[in-house]
Amino acid sequence: MLQDKITQYTEEIKAFAPSSAQEVEAFRLKFLVSKGILKNLFEEFKTVSSDEKRVLGKVLNEFKQLAENTFKDASEKFSNQNEGQTANAEGDLTLPGQGFSLGSRHPLSLVRKEIVEIFKKLGFVVAEGNEIEDDWHNFSALNFAPEHPARDMQDTFFIKKQDGNEMVLRTHTSSVQVRLMEAGKPPFRAIMPGRVYRNEAISARAHCFFHQIEGLYVDENVSFADLKQTLYHFVKELYGEDTKVRFRPSYFPFTEPSAEMDISCTICKGAGCQMCKYSGWVEILGCGMVDPNVLDNCGIDSKKYSGFAFGMGIERITNLKYEIRDLRLFSENDVRFLSQFETEII
């Protein structure tokens, strides 16, 4: 009979005195799971007569509360014991935890991110490309004549010929500009960050690999005034409103007219120091209007469209921002140097 079963199980629960968490779990599996004793008793309760239900309903509910409370009390008991043991072994777990250091961000990564964010606000998107390039995208499409000095072994790392093309480690990220213009139609407004390679002796001021960010804007009626105002804004955002800017005429095969842009030295504030060679000015980038030949090489009508381009070395920008005087520090992985920069804690 149902009454006899309830009485039997009630006595068993009242006598339950677990000595381990495993016994508590066994109690739960026996009485409280979907196929346990409690569930079976309620299924059997559905089959008794109406008169018996009025009597057994209360008894069965009291049995259910007894089983659930017994399991709850036993679970809390062993949970508290485990917490006490852990606290004794490892210390006070109520104390606030300590964060894990993820290490410092590399200064070049910090500056690259800051530059990208400035130009993103002006509507520039980020484009990236291959570090191994062919002659056309690295040189010829950019108006480099076959006899141009930059093609000599002293400047470029040549790898091998592939399908008749000379393959090189790219010497600038301008190759990404070519691929961008070949693959789409104007307008283009993009910046191209990346690593580049040149066959140079490693010193405090030069390295065989370094990082560049180049920019390109091509549309109808783009002028040199647009270029100047874009770069003025960039310098003021990066170095501050008091930074002075000047443009000097220069020459690049892929731009005409071309210029180099100088800023007042951020280290000596224009008074003169080793970084600016005591001139008070530091050159930070080259720029100019995209040569019509480059537009035509990329399948863009140079009579309808014009554009400007610029390129800067991230190492030079970082030197000025953090007053770092030796380029070799960026690639030596010295923790003492890297730990001086922004660190994230989680």
Residues in the chain: 346
- The angle subtended at Cα 302 by Cα 297 and Cα 305, nearest 5°, is 125
Centroid of chain to Cα 123: 20
Q: For the whole model, what pTM was predicted?
A: 0.66
Cis peptide before 257 (omega within 30 of 0): yes
Per-residue pLDDT of the chain (346 residues; tens, 9 = 90+): 788 888 888 888 888 888 888 888 888 888 888 888 888 888 888 888 887 878 888 888 888 899 889 888 888 887 766 655 544 445 566 777 777 666 778 899 999 999 999 999 999 999 999 999 998 999 999 999 888 787 776 688 888 776 777 889 999 999 999 999 999 899 999 999 999 999 888 887 788 999 999 999 999 999 999 999 999 999 999 988 988 999 999 999 999 999 999 998 887 877 887 777 888 898 999 999 999 999 999 999 999 999 999 999 999 899 888 888 888 899 888 888 888 886 544 4
pLDDT of residue 5: 85
Contact 67, 24 (CB under 8 A): no
**Chain Cα centroid distance, residue 97:** 26
| pLDDT computed for residue 271 by the predictor | 80
Is 256 flagged in the annotation as binding? Answer: yes
Cβ atoms 56, 45 nearer than 8 A: yes
- Cα 272 from Cα 264, distance rounded (Å): 10
- With residue 311 as reference, give the H or E element that holds it: strand 306-313
Residue 87: predicted pLDDT = 46
The 3-state DSSP class for residue 63 equals helix
DSSP assignment of 218-272, as one string? EETT--HHHHHHHHHHHHHHHH-TT--EEEEEEEETTEEEEEEEEEE-TTTTTS-
Question: Which residue type does 94 have?
Answer: T
- How confident is the model at residue 131, as a pLDDT? 93
pLDDT at 306: 96
pLDDT value, residue 346: 42
SS3 105: coil
